[in-house]
Amino acid sequence: MQSEVYDVAIIGGGIVGAATAYKLQKRNPEKRIVLLEKEDLLAPHQTGNNSGVIHSGLYYKPGSYKAKNCVDGRRELVKFAKEHNVAHDVCGKVVVATDKSELPHMDRIFNNGSQNGVEDIEKIGPEQIREIEPNCAGIAGIRVGCTGIIDFRGTTEKLAELVPGINDQSAIKLGHEVLSYQVDGDSTLINTSRGNFRARKMIFCGGLQADRLAKKDGVDLDMKVVGFRGDYYELTEQGMHKVKHLIYPVPNPKFPFLGVHFTRMVLGGVECGPNAVFTFKREGYGKTDFDMKDTMDALAYGGTWKLFFKHWQFGLDEYRRAFSKRLFLSRLQRLIPSLTMDDIEPGRAGVRAMALGNDGEMIDDFKIEYKENSIHVLNAPSPAATACLAIGEEVANMARDRFGLN
């Protein structure tokens, strides 16, 4: 059977893949684009299992791709959500310091926000914190008015829906796992679990599988994706009144995560978390999930062990909290002292793709590599969901420069 030929194939149906497809199709309405996702629904992994927060751009190094794309992308995302009736709420948040030792870093992230052009932010004191969040205890904080919450899975579905709406010869193919691909003449033959396709150009937005897809394409990598699971608790009905908006701690600059926080969800409820623990399965959401290939892949990499040795105490504490509700609660009580065991119950989990360099350091910024006829989005950590439309625009610009598209 003759394989269908597309101008561009996008591998990965998370929010970055869908936003890239949308941006490319808008700029090239005459081109045929296919998006291939191995699961039976869009946004099945990182996108559909994150905290649903529209990030402001407060935490990121001024001048970085993260900073620029987060601020620009946030504004475009909110506009998109309004235009297309995607559930969202720009409700604001507070970043709260509970100890004097946190104040210098709170000042640094406030200055980052100012340099990054984040609007509607201000330093606040204990009284203002209580006005916004009556149950929250803090000695100082930052009010961030432009942060919000959104249905990222709904956003992804809407972005994907618009692609064949622009060109009915384009397609979104679910349940099509890409098994292999090889250049064949002036196109690439893509073998999937449900048939073959041809594409003149390819863009990979593989998230948790990004490094493996790049390796198959012969990309020379200086990093590896290592999975970290984040477990959430939810506030019970009796505890839900204790959180009005979003409450974040001042992040510890020694560690690569923002810390456990409280998030009012756009579709209802309040989540608390996540922690951050090494996962023995890249796409595993249970505490005991295990995959031999994923485990050996991560533990055979020197960068993983360098990360472990550097942050062993942090990692041990996170693992203890993963299996202890009481220890998890004690961390939450730093922000809301009145929380009790009856106020929280176990919730869902998400997995984050952490790109680690050979030195064991987390690759903090977005990372994209090229081949002759392909582009690989190798690292798109938080705030990639918030920045998805800006990242999609960046990739579309790269496709223009590399592939001769508009």
Encode pLDDT of 345-399 as tens digits: 999 999 999 999 999 999 888 899 888 899 999 999 889 999 999 999 999 999 9
Q: Give me the pLDDT at residue 3, please.
A: 66
Q: What is the CATH number of the domain that holds 172?
A: 3.50.50.60
Contacts of residues 314-317 at CB distance under 8 Å and 24 or more positions apart, as own/partner, are 314/254, 314/255, 315/277, 315/278
At 228, list the tokens: 């970290």
Residue 256 banded pLDDT, cuts 50, 70, 90? low
Residue 75 C-beta-side C-alpha neighbours within 13 Å: 10
What is the residue-wise DSSP string for 205-222? --GGGHHHHHHHTT---S
What is the per-residue pLDDT across 36-77, written as a single tens digit (0 to 9) for each? 999 999 999 999 999 899 999 999 999 998 999 999 999 999
Are 388 and 345 members of one domain?
no
Are 218 and 277 members of one domain?
no
Are 375 and 329 members of one domain?
no
Q: Is residue 22 a part of any domain in this protein?
A: yes
At 223, list the tokens: 């990093």
Q: Which of 101, 174, 96 is nearest to 140 (CA)?
A: 96
What is the per-residue pLDDT across 69-98, written as a single tens digit (0 to 9) for each? 999 999 999 999 999 999 999 999 999 999
User: Tokens 């003449």, residue?
Assistant: 185
Are 205 and 231 members of one domain?
no
Strand ranges in 2-128 using DSSP code E only, listed in sequence order: 4-11, 33-37, 53-54, 88-89, 93-97, 121-124
Are 234 and 319 members of one domain?
yes
Q: Report which DSSP code applies to 252.
A: P
How far does CA 15 lie from the centroid of its chain? 9
Are 231 and 281 members of one domain?
yes
Strand order in the sheet with 148-150: 53-54, 148-150, 88-89
Q: Is residue 2 over pLDDT 60?
A: no
Distance from first CA to last CA of the chain, Å, rounded? 32
Q: Give me the pLDDT at residue 312, please.
A: 83
Q: Is residue 386 a part of any domain in this protein?
A: yes
Residue type, 61: K
Q: What are the CA-CA distances from residue 28 to residues 8, 83, 170, 257 (Å)?
A: 11, 21, 11, 38
At 173, list the tokens: 């193919």
Show Cβ contacts of residue 359 under 8 Å, excluding neighbours closer than 6 positions: 303, 306
**What's the structural domain count of the chain?**
2
Q: Is residue 118 a part of any domain in this protein?
A: no
Q: Give me the pLDDT at residue 371, please.
A: 87
Of 357, 373, 388, the domain-final residue:
357
Domain residue limits at 19: 4-47+153-222+364-403
What is the per-residue pLDDT across 274-324, written as a single tens digit (0 to 9) for each? 988 999 999 999 999 999 999 999 999 999 999 999 888 888 888 898 899
Of 357, 374, 391, the domain-final residue:
357
pTM for the whole structure: 0.95
Question: Which helix (H) or strand (E) is 364 found in, with range?
Answer: none
